[in-house]
Amino acid sequence: MTAQVVLVTGAQQGIGRCCALAFAAAGYDVALNWLDDEAAAAAVAAEVHAAGRRAALVQGDVGHVAECGRIVEAAVGALGRLDVLVNNAGIFPRVPFLEMTEAEWDRVLAVNLKGSAFAAQAAARAMLAAGHGGSIINLSSQAVRGTPVGVHYSATKNGVVGITRSMALALAPHGIRVNAIAPGTTDTAQPRYGNTEEELQAMGRALPLGRLGRPDEIADLAVYLASGKAAWVTGQVWHINGGSYMP
């Protein structure tokens, strides 16, 4: 039986890396999209191979629509099919609202929101062309509730919720499920921009469950949402945050 294939964007580190490894452990072959650290991406590919699965490295910037299509095409070309897309690539440059520039706004929206939408479009087209359904998992964030140094980021992560619900409706007739995961503060490089290690650990202790999230916990949820166990789940936003936000 041919293995299913997942494409993970932003797979060179953090949640993306853990998603790639969790899907490999679940029996998927993995296409690893990376932006600017080939050595890190190659190290993830080596871990996928060590798990007995195939891996393909696909460089590209999802902030450009043409790149989204090329990334999906390269993944299918390398591994033969595409069953799951994890829209993980994202940026969060901290900037006070009163200092935010149009260029900063445009770049964050291009990567986090436009990139997620058009990567999903390209993936869905590939799934339909192959004659099968699939699963798309978008990464939102607890920042949907707002952040003073990330107005642009919060806008994109709220937008991800909107496109998830709308794409779920658009793609349901084709057997493609679309869901979103909204992590709280997770122990990766991203929250270390703008926070000291001491501040970060204090944030974790202040959560109801008393610690930061682990990226592998986010990845395990992504694997579940892609699996047959979630076959009747679409258009949903899964908040995973240690109890810090309960919408």
Catalytic residue numbers read: 141, 153, 157
Spatial contact of 79 and 54, defined as CB atoms under 8 Å apart: yes
CA distance 40 to 43: 5
Q: How long a stretch of residues is the chain? A: 247
Helices (H), 80-150: 102-108, 115-130
CA 9 remoteness from chain centre: 6
Encode 170-205 in three state secondary structure.
HHHHHCEEEEEEEECCECCCHHHCCCCHHHHHHHHH
Helices (H), 52-101: 65-79
Spatial contact of 85 and 5, defined as CB atoms under 8 Å apart: no
The position carrying tokens 């610690």 is 211
CA distance 70 to 61: 10
Spatial contact of 125 and 67, defined as CB atoms under 8 Å apart: no
